[in-house]
Each structure stands twice: as C-alpha cells, then as structure tokens.
C-alpha cells in the first residue's frame, strides 16, 4: 500500500493465478508467485465514501470481483460495510462492467472462475 503526503492511499493489486483452499472454517487465498504476475492494478482507497476505486479497466473490475467473492464472509467488511459477495455482485451488475462489447480471453477466464465458485446444479 502506498500513502501520499496528503493522506491518500493507493493499493497495488498484483494479478496472478489465485490459489485457495479451506482451512477449518476459513478459506486461505493466496496470489501466485511474483514470476506469475501478469498485471498490476492501482486501486485508490476512498476514505470519504468507504470504497475501493478501480482503475476503470474491465480486467481490473472482474479480478477484484473474483477476489471479493473468494474472500467473502457472512459479516460485512468494516471498511466497505458490505460482504465480499455483495461487493462482487455490485461490480458484476454495474453498468461499467456491462458496457463492453467484447471480452478478452482473460476476462472470460476470470468470469469462468467466478462462476465456478457457485454450486453446480443438475
């Protein structure tokens, strides 16, 4: 996390393959090694509105939604006052995420990973 002299904070979010596993009642989530980082997203922390502001790219939005969904808990996050699932659904249902005509293969892969988190139906 970076902090400017005026108090603004910036989070650098490294995009790499995510590994997660269940440890007791909790999920352990880790991002791959530094060799596997494909992109670094700059996320602004808005203390006034208690929100995370992405860089505007669709890949950043989907990756943040994926991490929110993976790290969701039944209690709301103290900063955003929402659960990770609520945050992920807000991102995915936003007009900014729906405004793109074409998705890259990386976007499709991230959405497939998000879809894989929900239980299967038959």
Q: Which of 43, 48, 19 is nearest to 33 (CA)?
A: 19
Contacts (Cβ under 8 Å, ≥6 apart) of 72: 83, 84, 85, 87, 88
* Whole-number percent of the chain with pLDDT over 90: 55
pLDDT in tens, 65-103: 999 999 888 889 999 999 999 999 999 999 988 888 889
Predicted confidence band of residue 64 (pLDDT cuts 50, 70, 90): very high
> What are the b/e assignments for 58-72, b being 16+ CB within 10 Å?
bbbbbbbbbbbbbbb
What does DSSP assign to residue 39?
E
What is the model's pLDDT at position 66? Answer: 94
What token pair was written down for 116?
């894989």
């Amino acid at each position: 996390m970076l902090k400017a002299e005026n108090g603004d904070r910036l989070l650098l979010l490294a995009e790499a393959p995510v590994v997660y596993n269940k440890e007791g009642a909790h999920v352990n989530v880790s991002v791959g090694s530094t060799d596997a980082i494909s992109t670094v997203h700059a996320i602004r922390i808005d203390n006034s509105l208690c929100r995370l502001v992405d860089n505007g790219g669709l890949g950043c939005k989907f990756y943040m939604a994926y991490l929110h969904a993976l790290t969701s808990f039944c209690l709301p996050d103290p900063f955003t006052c929402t659960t990770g699932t609520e945050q992920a659904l807000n991102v995915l249902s936003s007009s900014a995420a729906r405004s793109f005509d074409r998705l890259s293969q990386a976007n499709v892969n991230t959405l497939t990973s998000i879809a894989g988190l929900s239980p299967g139906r038959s």
